[in-house]
Each structure stands twice: as structure tokens, then as C-alpha cells.
């Protein structure tokens, strides 16, 4: 267990500089977005009121007020979230291929450590999952601060409403996805994320085990996994059959657990039996 924890810590430390950069970009961009979006709105409102001789109340009646959804829907806010998501998806591949193609071919030393290769596999998966949770936790921490800054910068006459953090998350598709409001949504969002990561890890192991043939096998495995996970929807569409929401959730949860477990087992088996040093 201690070796596994050390491996997790090692993997996180290797990505720490980029990870901290993502946190800083998110912090700066989203807070800058609060200032820029509110400034643009208020400058436009003042110009329109001056030109059309409108009061604040008349302007809001004619053109509408502003709330935090304006910020949450802006590129300033969603851009760093998208950047972080792309970076972590890219790191799913980099976390393995860097060991093969980096200096001194580090994978050889890693695979010769006196520890189970399953620990190496799980440590990489755990490191990525913890970094995802860290980014989400960071967003949850700074969101109320951004909301408070927004409310303090906008005159009350222009505010549609003061929104709570949960209301903001529920009103924005991106935030609703990364900050689930219920445990069921949490299981769906992050369970699917874990499943996709494990499937991609297995596809990488296929490529590392069989090279060119492995790319084809990996793509086939990803395709079969997608078909299996989406099978209930295909059954409803093609077979004119209907699942109740609870039944559909149960089926997808079961299929997700099966696919994740199979992918971890198969990926670890390939790493142990087919990937050689």
C-alpha cells in the first residue's frame, strides 16, 4: 500500500507544475471575466440610457438586467474549464507515453520496481482522478467568491436576482456536469469519466503490447465498449422498448461497473503479461 501511495504521489508531482498553472489560469481568467463582463454590460447600459434618456428601471424593463449566468456563460469562465478538461484528457495518454518516449526510457525502471504492475496501473489512474477532483473542488471554492464579487460590482437596480452557488450550477450546463447537484448525478458524471479513462488506458496497453495491430485492437475495444454502454438506448430506439428512468440508471450503472472492472483487469493483464522490458 505504501508503494502504491508513493507511486500516486510521484505521478501527481510530475504533473504538478502544469496542474498549478491550470489552477492559476482558472483563477485569473474567471475573476477577470467577472470584471470584464460586468464592465461591458454597465458601460453599454450607461451609453444606452444616455442616448435614449432612460432611467435605470426603464432600461432594465426594455433591455433586461444581468445575473451571474452572464459570467458563467462567457469564454472567460468556461474557457479555463475546457482547457483543464483537454489537458487532463491529453494527460491520460501522456502519463503513459512520456515513460516510453521521454529521456532514459523511464518505463523500464518503472516496470522493474519491486511492486505489482497493477499498482503502477492504478497509481496512474488514481493520480488523474484526484487531479480531476482537485480542479472541481477548486471551482467550488472560488465560485462563491466570484459570485460575491459580481453582486458587489453590479448596482442592485440592474440585478435580475442574487443567485446562490447551487442555483448558478443548476443554470449552467457545464457547471451542472462538473458540479452534480445529487449523488445520482455524481455517480453518472464521474462514474462515466472513470469508465472512459479505464477504457483509454486499456486501449493504450493494446497499442503498447501489439504496436500497429494494437492500435486497431484498441479502437475496436473502445467501439465495443461504447456500444455495450449505450445498449439500453439502442434497445429502446430499435426494439420499441421503454425503460423507466430508475431502470435506465440501474442498467447503465451496472454496465459502467462491468466495463470499468473489465478494462482495469484487461489493462493490468496486458501490462503484466504483454508489455515487456
Give the pLDDT confidence score for residue 127 in this predicted structure.
94
* H/E stretch holding 50: helix 2-52
- pLDDT of 113 reads 75
C-alpha triplet 49, 76, 32: angle, nearest 5°: 75
Q: What is the pLDDT of residues 69-92, one digit of tens each?
A: 999 999 999 999 999 999 999 999
Q: Which residues of 8-38 are buried (b: 16+ CB within 10 A; e: fewer)?
A: beebbebbeeebeebbeebbebbbebbeebb
Query: Which residues of the chain are modeled with pLDDT < 70?
Result: 102-105, 276-277
Tally of CB atoms within 10 A around 129: 16
Number of neighbours of residue 159 by Cβ within 10 angstroms? 16
Residue 273 is predicted with a pLDDT of 86
Per-residue confidence (pLDDT) for residue 20, from 0 to 100: 96
Angle between helices 117-153 and 2-52 (to 10 degrees): 20
pLDDT at residue 102 in the model:
65
User: Using an 8 Å Cβ cutoff, are 66 and 158 in contact?
Assistant: yes
Q: How far is CA 37 from CA 49, 99, 135, 150, 164, in A?
A: 18, 43, 23, 10, 19
Contact 267, 206 (CB under 8 A): no
- Written as one string, the DSSP assignment of 10-42 is HHHHHHHHHHHHHHHHHHHHHHHHHHHHHHHHH
Percent with pLDDT over 70 in the chain: 98
Rg of the chain, C-alpha, whole Å = 24
Question: Interhelix angle for 183-210 vs 245-273, to 10°?
Answer: 30
Residues in the chain: 277
Contact in structure between 107 and 277 (CB atoms under 8 Å): yes
Amino acid at each position: 500500500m505504501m508503494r502504491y501511495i508513493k507511486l500516486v504521489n510521484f505521478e501527481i508531482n510530475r504533473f504538478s507544475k502544469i496542474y498549478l498553472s491550470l489552477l492559476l489560469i482558472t483563477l485569473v481568467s474567471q475573476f477577470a471575466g467577472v470584471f470584464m463582463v460586468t464592465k461591458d454590460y454597465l458601460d453599454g447600459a450607461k451609453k444606452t440610457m444616455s442616448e435614449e434618456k432612460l432611467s435605470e428601471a426603464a432600461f432594465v424593463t426594455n433591455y433586461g438586467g444581468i445575473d451571474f449566468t452572464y459570467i458563467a456563460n462567457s469564454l472567460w469562465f468556461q474557457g479555463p474549464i475546457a482547457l483543464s478538461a483537454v489537458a487532463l484528457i491529453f494527460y491520460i495518454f501522456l502519463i503513459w507515453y512520456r515513460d516510453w518516449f521521454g529521456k532514459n526510457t523511464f518505463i523500464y525502471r518503472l516496470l522493474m520496481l519491486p511492486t505489482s504492475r497493477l499498482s503502477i496501473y492504478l497509481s496512474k489512474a488514481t493520480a488523474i482522478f484526484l487531479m480531476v477532483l482537485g480542479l472541481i473542488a477548486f471551482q467550488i471554492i472560488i465560485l462563491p467568491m466570484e459570485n460575491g464579487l459580481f453582486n458587489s460590482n453590479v448596482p442592485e437596480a440592474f440585478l435580475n436576482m442574487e443567485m446562490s452557488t447551487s442555483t448558478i450550477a443548476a443554470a449552467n450546463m457545464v457547471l451542472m456536469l462538473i458540479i452534480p447537484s445529487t449523488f445520482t448525478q455524481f455517480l453518472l458524471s464521474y462514474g462515466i469519466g472513470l469508465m472512459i479513462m479505464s477504457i483509454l488506458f486499456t486501449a493504450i496497453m493494446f497499442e503498447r503490447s501489439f504496436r500497429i495491430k494494437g492500435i486497431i485492437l484498441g479502437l475496436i475495444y473502445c467501439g465495443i465498449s461504447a456500444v455495450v454502454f449505450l445498449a439500453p438506448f439502442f434497445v429502446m430506439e430499435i426494439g420499441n422498448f421503454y425503460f423507466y428512468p430508475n431502470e435506465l440508471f440501474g442498467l447503465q450503472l451496472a454496465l459502467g461497473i462491468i466495463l470499468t472492472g473489465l478494462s482495469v483487469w484487461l489493462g493490468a493483464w496486458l501490462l503484466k503479461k504483454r508489455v515487456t522490458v
